[in-house]
Structure 1
C-alpha cells in the first residue's frame, strides 16, 4: 500500500484484476462471459469480444511492436492469450460509440449508478484531471468537459472520449503501442477550440 485510503490518487491495474474476481464470485460467470453478456450484448457491440490470439475473428487487426532496428513484430507473445478484467478486449470504433450511447442513456446501469460512475471521485496529478469509478474525467472552470477511457499495451493503444458540451464521441483504435494518443490529442485540441 502506497498511502492511506483517500490520501492520494494512484492508478493500479491490480485493482481491476481484483474487481474481476469479485464479478466472477457474485455472478457465477467468468469475467469475460459476464462482460460479453451484460455489457457488449446490451450495448449492441456486435463486433467486440474477448478473443484468444489463436482464434481471432475474420478482419481482426494484429498489434505490432516497433523494434529498435526498424523492423516490426506482432504482439501475440507480449500479451496474455486472452484478455481479462485488466484489459484485452477487442473492440471496433462503431461498437465503442454504441457503448457510450448505452451508458449515457442508462441502458447499462440505472440512472443513479450512471451518475455515480460519471462523478469525479478523486483528483489525479493533473490539475484538471479526475478519476471516477473506472473512468477518467476532465474538468475546466468547475465543469466536466470530457469523460474518457484508454488502454495501452505492447502493440496496441486505444483512446475514447465523450465531450458533454458538444455531445461528440471520439474513438481511436491503433495497432501500435503509441498510435492513439497523438491522434486523440489533435482531435481534442480542435474540439476544444470549437466549443470554447
Structure 2
C-alpha cells in the first residue's frame, strides 16, 4: 500500500473517532479497495453494529439515478432535452411556465415551485404536518404539495436546487415506460450494475441489514426518523444502497453500461454554475473544478437521520462512498480525505 493510501486510512480513522461517526466508509484507488470500515450501530436499541454490507438511505444522492433514467429515454429517442414539460406529462400545472423543459428540470433551473424549498423551510419534518408522510407512497402523492403553486422565476434564469423538478422527471419516466419509477430503476440501473442489495424500500418493511436512521436531539435523547420522511423514496431521493453497490454503480456509469459514451459525457458535463465558486451541476451530479480541470464528480444527500457523500476524483483515480444513519458525518470524512489528496 502506498504512503498516500496509508495516510488516507489513518486520517479517516482519526476523523471518524473524533466525530463519533456512525456508518460505512469505503475508498477505492483504481480497482483496489484501500479503505473499508464500519462504525456505530445500525440499531441502537438492540446494539446491532453497522457492517460494511449494511444498507443505508442516501436521500438526494439518488437524483443521479433519475437523471440517468431520463438520459436513457432520450438516448432511445423517446424524449429530448428541449422537450417541454407540457408535452411530456398529461398532468395539468395551471401556473407553470409553458417553456419549462427537461433540461431545466435536470439542472434545477426550471423556476417551478418546490414542495420543500431549503431557502424557506429549515425543517424537513414540518412538511408532514399537513401531508402525513405515511400517505406518500408514489410519486403522484407529492403533487398536491406544489402542483397549484406559482413559479419562483423564469425558466433558465438561474440555478435553484429543486426537489419537485425531480419528482416531475420521475413521473415522466413512469408515463413513457408504463412502469412504476422504482421498478424502472431496478431494471435499468441496479440490475445492469449488479447492485443486488439496493432499492427503494418502504420504511415500514425494511429488509434485513438496513440501518435505521437516527435523529439526535439537543437534550441528549434520540429517536428514529420513521416519522420524518416519506414512507417510500422516489425520484428526488430516498433509495437505499450498500457501499459496495455504490462502487459498482460508479464503475457501471464510467464504463458506459448505463449510457453510451455521448450521453455519459452529456450527463457529466458542467451545465450550470451554482452559487459557489468552482462548483457546477451536470445532470443529477455535482461537479467541482480546480484550475479549470474537473477535481471531482460527487453526490450528496441529507435528510433527518440520513447523510451521504460519494465522489469520483478523476485525476487521482480515487472513488469514495460514505454512508451514515445520522444527520451528519460524511462531509467531515470527505474533507479529511481531500486534505490528503
TM-score band w.r.t. shorter chain: over 0.9
Q: What residue number does 2:323 align with? A: 173
- CA positional deviation for 1:61: 0.6
Counterpart residue number, 1:11: 161
Per the alignment, residue 73 of structure 1 pairs with 223
1:136 maps to which residue? 286
TM-aligned CA deviation for residue 189 of structure 1: 2.1
Comparing 23-32 and 2-11, the one that deviates more: 2-11
Measure the CA separation in 2 of the matches of 1:45 and 1:59: 15
Matched, 1:150 2:300: yes
Q: Matched residues in 2 for 1:113 and 1:127: separation?
A: 26
Match of 1:59 among 185, 209, 215: 209
Cα separation, 2, equivalents of 1:2 and 1:112: 33
Matching residue of 1:97: 247
In the alignment of these two chains, the number of paired residues is 191
Deviation at 1:181, TM superposition (A): 1.3
Q: TM-score, structure 2 length as denominator? A: 0.55
Q: Report the Cα offset of residue 66 of structure 1.
A: 0.6
Give 2:97's aligned residue.
Answer: none
Q: Which runs of 5+ in 1 are unaligned?
A: 192-196
Give the C-alpha shift of residue 69 in structure 1: 1.2
The equivalences for 1:111-122 within 5 A come to: 111-122=261-272
Deviation string 1:33-92 (CA, Å, 9 cap, x unpaired) is 111111111111111111111211111110000112111100111111111111110111
Q: What is the distance in 2 between the residues matched to 1:83 and 1:2?
A: 25
Larger radius of gyration: 2
Q: Is 1:30 the equivalent of 2:180?
A: yes
Aligned to 1:186: 336
- SS in structure 2 of the partner of residue 173 of structure 1: strand
Cα distance in structure 1, aligned partners of 2:216 and 2:163: 24
Name 2:189's counterpart in structure 1.
39
Q: TM-score, normalised by structure 1?
A: 0.94
Secondary structure at 2:264 match in 1: helix
Q: 1:18 Cα shift? A: 0.5
Any idea what SS the aligned residue of 1:16 has?
Answer: helix
